[in-house]
Chain A
Amino acid sequence: MTYVICHFLKTMFRPGVLLDTFQESFRNKMFLFFFIVASLIVVSIGLTLNMDVVNGVMRGVTFFGSELHVPAYSVKQWVENFQSGLAMFIGTFGMIVALMATSTLFPQMLQKGSIDLLLCRPIPRWRLITARFVGGAAIMAFNAAYLFFGVWIVLGLKSGIWNHGFPLSTLLAIFAFIVLFSVVMIVSVTTESGPAGLLVAATMLMFSPVLAAHERITPAFSSELYRRIFRSMYWLLPKSAETIGAMRRLIIELPLDIDWVVGTSLAFALACYAAAVIYFTRKDY
């Protein structure tokens, strides 16, 4: 199986572009920052979080020596709440850091003198840009998995609670990132500007909770046209807030009903990807 996957990656993308994306990403200071922050979170939870558990009930918690006031939670509840809070933090703040770290990947590739050296090779253009996309997404998936699994293992060892929803929620975090990264891709490829891609993707992330509340907001609009526009935006644009919210539901073991959230967000990401590939394939450099 591993051989089949390696062979597929090798023939699809040529290792050079993927490897170069990885190398470039690791040398990127923002990635280093992200990796160090993730490591600090894992290590600080491991070294400074102390739980006082009596008969399966939390009596107290200290974090960096300070006592946290905890209602009489069961250990399981407390761990789930801690994990869901962390997941929300990563899904918002971490997502923006991840988008910042990856927003330069496409503009750097498209720089004059650099793009010429790639396009003159016997590799179709769609493979070049797809390799770049896959490379960027893979790096962030690695970082997210490192952080989530690290926290999961440390908390599991300390509390004895192994909540499988938390590592599984990594998949939703990666999915939410990939959808927004496709926005960075299309904007960066068309404008050749990293900040522009970051700005559009971050705006979508920040605006998504507003769109998610469309059922409560639209009745306040004065015109039916505005209501339709707002609802259309909700259905067309990625549902990042709901995807991140689904991470919390998964962690605290609430039922998930996110087929339409994943489906419409995936359709949006695929449309962005296809548009970026078509534009890149046709453009003269």
Chain B
Amino acid sequence: MDSAFQAIELSKTFRKRWSQREVRALQSINLAVEPGTVFGLLGPNGAGKTTLVKIALTIAHPDGGEVRLLGESVRNRSVLRRVGYLPENPRFPSHLTAWQVLRLYGSLSGADMKRVNQNASKWLERLDLGQFRDVRVSKFSKGMNERLALAQALVHDPDFIFLDEPTDGLDPIGRREVRAICRELADKGTTIFINSHILAEIELFCDRIALMKSGEIIEHGTLAELTSAQNGYELVVAVTDELRSWLLEKAFTFTAVDGHLHIRVPDRSSANSLIDALRAKNVELERMAPGRRTLESVFIEKITD
């Protein structure tokens, strides 16, 4: 089966017009996203995330390589009929109402207007904008604008959706609603590509994650793969002063949390040795699990490498 998104040897360098300075935004990127997944692209500011998305949507042009969406090269613009996009800081024509905005962008996407009208009503209601349907967008708050931007990305029933910082400016309820919509759409087969630097959101949203730094993909996998890889084990036992002294004496790494000691060991044999020693001291083991890092720790580790 074709990937829903495919970047092949994608390169882009920005050159300052009046100086020799160059910024290599993308460096021969290869990346694929399977259909029906919620994919998260993470990276610090300036990593090249937005450039990658903009090239995929033909808003910017690559220096080399190509992007394929839903099996077709984006050079064939007709594939963009099946693509939705929520940009960071969207700006709508201020003279239009919410309803007119959705009709305008639905028609520009080449969708059937009957379907656009139905979807416009549906998404305005779903995103809690139904009562503001005939209000001009110039009167909208940032959160309302962001919800309307999501509705315009969905109004033509796209098969692939790019969301750039989709929860920016939303309250916790709005964020939960956006997550629920993304999950529903993905379950129906829509591929969702989220571009964000909010790690907690990515952890909650995404089936697969890629980390990007200085125009390169430096890590790629599921959340479990990224956070558990080669990270040893963690044993949890009840705190006693005697045990704490013994662990310090043996130079184990541990932290005390809520009356328990979380002891980290680098590999399976060390874990087994420690269990034997603890059992010999009549210490009861509360829990043992493969050591799992947080996405934040992985992100910081990879980005500061």
Q: Are A27 and B80 in contact (CB under 8 A)?
A: no
Q: Are A20 and B104 in contact (CB under 8 A)?
A: yes
B55 to chain A, nearest CB (A): 9
The verdict on A282 contacting B108 (CB below 8 Å), with A116-B85, A117-B92, A122-B81 known, is no
CB proximity to A under 8 Å, residues B40-61: 54, 57-61
CB proximity to A under 8 Å, residues B79-126: 79-81, 83, 85, 87-93, 95-96, 100, 104-105, 107-110
The verdict on A120 contacting B91 (CB below 8 Å), with A14-B108, A15-B107 known, is no
In the complex, A112 Cα to B91 Cα: how many Å?
7
In the complex, A23 Cα to B104 Cα: how many Å?
11
Residue of B14, B77, B85, B95 near A117 (CB, 8 A) is B85
Q: Are A122 and B87 in contact (CB under 8 A)?
A: no
Q: Which chain B positions have C-beta within 8 A of A121?
A: 80, 105, 108-110
Residue of B100, B110, B152 near A122 (CB, 8 A) is B110
Q: Are A24 and B93 in contact (CB under 8 A)?
A: yes
Q: Which chain B positions have C-beta within 8 A of A116?
A: 54, 57, 59, 85, 87, 90
Residue of A16, A114, A120 near B85 (CB, 8 A) is A120
Q: Is A68 an interface residue (CB 8 A)?
A: no
The verdict on A17 contacting B95 (CB below 8 Å), with A119-B57, A121-B80, A282-B61 known, is no
Q: Is A123 an interface residue (CB 8 A)?
A: yes
CB proximity to B under 8 Å, residues A84-125: 108, 111-124
Q: Is A285 an interface residue (CB 8 A)?
A: yes
B164 to chain A, nearest CB (A): 9
Q: Are A120 and B59 in contact (CB under 8 A)?
A: yes
Question: Chain A residue with minimal CB distance to B90?
Answer: A113
A-B contact list, 23 entries, CB within 8 Å: A17-B108, A20-B93, A20-B104, A23-B95, A23-B100, A112-B89, A113-B88, A113-B89, A116-B59, A117-B85, A117-B90, A117-B105, A119-B57, A119-B58, A120-B85, A122-B78, A122-B79, A122-B80, A282-B61, A284-B14, A284-B54, A284-B61, A285-B60
